[in-house]
Amino acid sequence: MLVELGVVEQRHAAVLEVFSGVAIKLVAERYGVSRQTVHRWLVRYARYGLSGLADRSTRPGSCPHQMPPPIEARILTLRAEHPGWGPRTIAHRLCVEGAKPLPGRSSIYRCLVRHGLISPQRRRRKREEYRRWERSRAMELWQMDVMGGVRLLDGRELKLISGIDDHSRFCVSAALVPRATARPVCEALLAALRRYGLPEQILTDNGKVFTARFGAGSGEVLFDRLCREHGIRHLLTAPHSPTTTGKVERFHRTIRREFLAGRSFASPEDAQAQLDAWVALYNEERPHQGIGMVAPAKRFALAQAEPLVGAELPSLEQLPSEPDGRRLTRRVSANGKISVETFAYHVGSWLAGQTVEVLLRDDGLIEIFHGGVLIVAHAHRRKLGPEPAALRPRPRLVRPRPPSAGVPVLRLVDGGGAICFAGANYRAGNAYRHEQVEVRVVGDSVQIAHQGRLIRTHAIRHDRSKEHGAFSTPGGRPRRSNAAGLTDRMPASRDVTEEPEPGCKAGGGT
């Protein structure tokens, strides 16, 4: 009789065999384990008795590198006080505070994930594969941009005109305005120039407040004019390339996460005051990960720039005024012309397929621009007013053409405006959808008529050998209501109960 023994019983039997004098090698071969395993059973049996032969957890009794509870509590406190801080910033703060043992960034990351403060993320690329570029010294290049999303309690939204130094990440401009038009943007630029001096270059995108590169007007905008007058080279990004100004875009992300998250302001003055306080903390105290965990002010302190003295924005009277009028966009045809108000204007065949901007001036001129450059100007041709009725030509009466002679076949126009005849689809028009039409084969054409009036004529596209099926069921499918209601109109010699013609799809051609 076979008896099944448990794991503990088998191990106990092996230990008893060793105690009885059997060699450990033979016991190990009999039970299918190694000699080291039998030795462990003997030690555990001698120390704990029979209970020591049971299975145990493989978890170690102690972990020398486990994070101490005070350090873990401090990590959670820093994260609660600064929700935008990640593992690297928290590790830097613990290092400044002199925490020991100092945990690594991955340990802090696992701690935050374990407590549900951040979600686990999978890195797509190694950090070494990212290619970054920056200028070698401060005040060599500024990056400027416009950001929205600053909310007030009354529902209004403010725009942020921001600018940072490319080398030090120092914020040189953070001005809130109701509307980011040309003058507020230039006023923010002048304020930054008066405070920090003149940079060598300024990098922006292709917004209309920064450049007229893709605008309809000619000449330079006010921002370009300020840069030119003060010897600053204005650089522009390629179209649809936001990564070129990636540093100021990353600065916007920091503002949204650490300053604007879940916050509204009572007034524009209150928003500007709180933003100035946060920018001072960002520049002077907050460690920046992109520059070796130092404050941007430490890098920017080495800047040497030419001061700006007595610079003012020109008044509205001094600015070049653009002519009043309407602006349109047109595409140049293959023969080099565009159409405006039913009149054709010559532009040039070398611009065929290109898009041009058209300015309809109030002084009677039409100016055509391409890439902000004036190409050609024409006199604006307009339609004359209505002529007296006695001078206007009488309209020629066009009588509807009756269909030609032929055997009529009734068809129902489907929802797409087509009918099916002899296995081929013919267009009748959307105006006749779900209406009965008459189809006739006249010579080499198919004529479609509605209420005695010819509406369409098509060249024959169907197989002529299949016409007998169409003529044998002139009223369409017999199970449809349109054919059943029109049988009294068909000749008595025609059989309308035959099978539908082959080749027609269901739902079209009945």
- Give tens-digit pLDDT for 20-77: 999 999 999 989 999 999 999 999 999 988 888 888 888 777 777 788 888 889 999 9
Weakest mean pLDDT among 255-269, 360-374, 378-392: 378-392
Cite the beta strand spans of 216-324 per DSSP E. 233-236
Confidence of residue 212 (pLDDT cuts 50, 70, 90): confident
8 A C-beta contact, residue 175 and residue 161: yes
Reply yes or no on whether the pLDDT at 483 is more than 50. Answer: no
Strand bridging mode 445-450 / 436-442: antiparallel
- Helices 35-48 and 24-31: crossing angle in degrees, nearest 10, is 100
CB-based contacts of 374: which residues, under 8 Å, 6+ apart?
Answer: 218, 367, 368
CA distance 504 to 509: 7
Q: Is the pLDDT of residue 214 over 90?
A: no
pLDDT of 386 over the 60 cut: no
Q: For domain 325-379, is the CATH number 2.40.50?
A: yes
Q: Which residue has the higher pLDDT, 431 or 488?
A: 431
pLDDT tier at 508 (50, 70, 90 boundaries)? very low
Is pLDDT above 60 for 497? no
What percent of the chain has a predicted confidence (pLDDT) above 70?
Answer: 80
| DSSP code at position 386 | P
pLDDT at 203 over 90: yes
pLDDT of 252 over the 90 cut: yes
Helices first, then strands: H and E counts in the chain: 13, 17
pLDDT band, residue 166 (cuts 50/70/90) = very high
Which has more confidence, 317 or 249?
Answer: 249
145 pLDDT band, cuts 50/70/90, is very high
Out of 50-64, 78-92, 310-324, the most confident range is 78-92
Residue 505 has pLDDT above 50, yes or no: no
- Residue 371 — pLDDT band, cuts 50, 70, 90? low
Residue 165 confidence (pLDDT): 94
Q: What does the pLDDT read at residue 67?
A: 85
Q: What is the structure's pLDDT at 126?
A: 58
Scan for tokens 């800047």, then name that residue. Answer: 303
Strands 157-165 and 171-177 come out as antiparallel
- Span of 138-152, 238-252, 318-332 with lowest mean pLDDT: 318-332
Q: Please name the residues in contact with 207: beta carbons below 8 A apart, sequence gap of 6 or more.
A: 146
pLDDT of residue 467: 81
pLDDT of residue 451: 86
What is the chain's mean pLDDT, rounded?
A: 81
Average pLDDT of 391-400?
50
Q: What does the pLDDT average to over 479-491?
A: 45
CB-based contact 268:158 (threshold 8 Å): yes
Least confident range of 19-33, 204-218, 346-360, 495-509: 495-509
> Which residue would you say has higher pLDDT here, 80 or 483?
80
- Per-residue H/E/C for 144-164: EEEEEEEEECCCCEEEEEEEE
**pLDDT band per the 50, 70, 90 thresholds, residue 192:** very high
> 473 or 354, which is more confident?
354
Confidence of residue 296 (pLDDT cuts 50, 70, 90): very high
Phi-psi region of 348 (alpha: psi -120 to 50; beta: other; left: phi over 0): left
Q: What is the pLDDT of residue 493?
A: 41
CATH of domain 141-300: 3.30.420.10
Report the pLDDT value the prediction gives residue 316, as an integer from 0 to 100.
41
Query: Is the model's pLDDT at 276 over the cut of 90?
Result: yes
Q: Which residue has the higher pLDDT, 471 or 169?
A: 169
**How far apart are alpha carbons 412 and 484 in whole angstroms?**
13
Residue 219's pLDDT is 63
- Residue 55's pLDDT is 86
Q: Decide if pLDDT at 402 tops 50.
A: yes
Whether residue 350 is predicted with pLDDT greater than 90 in this model: the reply is: no
Length of the chain: 510
Q: Are 411 and 483 in contact (CB under 8 A)?
A: no
Res 56: pLDDT: 81
User: CA–CA distance from 151 to each of 175, 259, 266, 271, 316 (Å)?
Assistant: 14, 12, 9, 9, 30
